């Protein structure tokens, strides 16, 4: 099995002992992406800005693996407050308009660094 650990400066560094992403054959798995600016480390706290930043971080990891958002097959979204669901969907729809991967969105009690959202994806190469 061909396993490749992914790393890009265009996404924030991992906040624990894990990789930004892993490629196994033609599958790419991103780790959950907090809404942190990769240059400054600043965490976005407004839900629309946070969702956009998390998706941009996912996108950067996918691009590092040589794939794109239109090859995403599954997305997991973790939100601190399900009342933000409509705002998350609004931004998410800008990234996945025609192509609609399978998805789950769950409310969690807390996220690392007090983030309001975390997003991970699985894509084809």
Task: Let me know if 59 is a catalytic residue.
Answer: no
105 by Cβ neighbours in 10 Å (0-12 / 13-18 / 19+) ranks as: middle
Q: Which residue has the tokens 């998350």?
A: 88
Q: 22, 69, 76, 105: which is the annotated catalytic residue?
A: 105
Question: Could you give the dihedral angle defined by the CA atoms of residues 68, 98, 29 and 25, in that order, rounded to the nearest 10 degrees?
Answer: -70
Known catalytic residues? 105
């Amino acid at each position: 099995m061909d396993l490749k650990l992914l790393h890009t400066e265009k996404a924030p560094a991992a906040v624990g002992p894990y990789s930004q992403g892993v490629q196994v054959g033609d599958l790419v798995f991103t780790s959950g992406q907090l809404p942190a600016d990769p240059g400054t480390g600043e965490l976005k706290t407004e839900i629309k800005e946070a969702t956009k930043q998390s998706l941009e971080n996912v996108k950067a990891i996918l691009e590092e693996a040589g794939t794109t958002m239109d090859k995403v097959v599954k997305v997991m979204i973790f939100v601190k407050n399900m009342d933000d669901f409509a705002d998350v969907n609004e931004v998410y729809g800008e990234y996945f308009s025609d192509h609609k991967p399978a998805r789950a969105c769950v409310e969690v009690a807390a996220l690392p660094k007090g983030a309001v959202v975390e997003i991970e994806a699985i894509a084809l190469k």
